[in-house]
Amino acid sequence: MKLVAIQLNAQADWLLNRQQIADLLAQLPSERPCLVLLPENFACLGTTAEYQQIAEPLGEGPIQQQLADWARQWGIWLVAGSLPTRVVGETRLHTSSLVYAPDGTLQGHYHKLHLFDVDVADGHGQYRESASFAPGERWQVVASPFGGLGLSICYDVRFPELYRQLRVAGADILLVPAAFTYVTGQAHWLALLRARAIENQCYVLAANQCGVHGGGRQTWGHSVIIDPWGQVLAEAGHESGVIQAELDLQFLNKIRGDMPVLAHTRLRDGWREPE
């Protein structure tokens, strides 16, 4: 079984991004089954107005149709990192991760829980994701031939309680599509991802944006695949491209059997004040 992360330099134009993705899909390994992850904002990395322009209702629209077509064309499990989807009764959007089976059917989705409202010492300076997006309300694990797929998006990676919930719910692979900034990525990207892999004894498949985007935004790249022992199996640089690694479920089960941290957990009901 193959794990694949696609690293992009997405801009605001969906048609240009679509061609970039199509070119990279042509570089996929021949082995099947194959799990392919696109980064956050794969269709559009732009402004609030540009997100509103391309946003689609969940389950319909030309971008989602293209994703389904790609899954069928290449015979892959395709996880579309994040796409703006419309929210009933809300002017803001969800940023949604979508999982497609090789027959093109939508197997599950996840709306990003944690929104990136921070100040960063880069060319963009201030990020207020909540101005464009509404937070999701629930976590999601999707069943697949690769095991349970624990869905998350970018800033979520700083909230370890989410990933422990995904592991408890049956996740074997933690998916982290991202548009991690250059500054925060250089400081924290790999450390956070390795920690999530080690503490939850899961594979981590993380696809990031790279390069310079509109509005002075710069992303870190370095998409990565990490095994349940925290070893980096594949890592990209700062350019668009494809990375791949083998999924070894026997190794995953051995790690969990040798060191059963989930069984040893004593704070099952969360933190309590000392008595």
210 given a catalytic annotation: no
- How many residues appear in the chain? 275
151 forms beta bridges with 175
SS3 118: strand
154: nearest Cα among 200, 124, 100, 118:
118
CB atoms near residue 119 (< 10 Å): 10
154 given a catalytic annotation: yes
| Structure-token pair, residue 123 | 């060319």
**Alpha carbons 54 and 84: distance in angstroms, whole number:** 7
166: nearest Cα among 120, 212, 202, 121:
202
Which one of 2, 34, 40, 210 is the catalytic residue? Answer: 40
Q: What is the DSSP letter of 170?
A: T
Which one of 34, 44, 154, 210 is the catalytic residue? Answer: 154
112 given a catalytic annotation: yes
Beta strands 171-178; 232-235: pairing state: unpaired
Enumerate residues 6+ apart whose C-beta is below 8 A from 22: 70
For helices 62-74 and 14-25, what crossing angle results, to 10°?
10
Which one of 112, 129, 202, 210 is the catalytic residue? Answer: 112
CA dihedral 231, 258, 270, 168 (to 10 degrees): 80
**Alpha carbons 57 and 93: distance in angstroms, whole number:** 10
Q: Determine the number of helices (DSSP H) and then strands (DSSP E) in the chain.
A: 8, 16
Catalytic residues: 40, 112, 154
